[in-house]
Amino acid sequence: MTEKIYFKIGDIAKKFNVNPSLLRYWEKEFDFIRPKKNSKGTRYYSKKDVDNIDIVYHLVKEKGMTIQGVKEYLATRKNENTIDKLEVIVTLKKTRELLVSIKEVLETR
């Protein structure tokens, strides 16, 4: 099975359990979230965009930071590879989800 290269805004909103309007807002606030748009204005998010949204989601929804707080946090830590560290956190969360789902499958046997 092939994996998608681009995702529509509805898919991303469902994945993070947020409204599409929030994603559009984050697009305006963070210059590193830049989905491609077709002539009709339909947004297509790349895997990198989804990873960046995951970072913003983690800081805003899970850590409770404000938008301005996230901007300042990322700006002051640019030289400290903060984005790389946050990407590691995202990867670890995905790995944990995968392992939990495997455990559930094995327990049902």
Please report, for the domain that includes residue 56, its CATH number.
1.10.1660.10
Rounded CA separation 59/19 (Å)? 17
Tens digits of residue pLDDT in 72-105? 888 877 655 666 777 777 788 888 888 998 888 8
CA 28 to chain centre: 15
Please check whether residue 86 lies inside any domain of the structure.
yes
Owning domain of residue 81: 7-107
Please check whether residue 38 lies inside any domain of the structure.
yes
Rounded CA separation 23/29 (Å)? 10
Tens digits of residue pLDDT in 4-58? 789 999 999 999 999 999 999 999 999 889 999 999 999 999 988 998 898 899 8
* Cβ 52 vs Cβ 80: under 8 Å: no
Please check whether residue 1 lies inside any domain of the structure.
no
For the question of whether the overall pTM of this predicted structure is more than 0.85, the answer is no
Please check whether residue 26 lies inside any domain of the structure.
yes
Helix (H) or strand (E) holding 46: none
* Cβ 76 vs Cβ 90: under 8 Å: no
* Cβ 61 vs Cβ 91: under 8 Å: no
Task: Report how many domains make up the chain.
Answer: 1
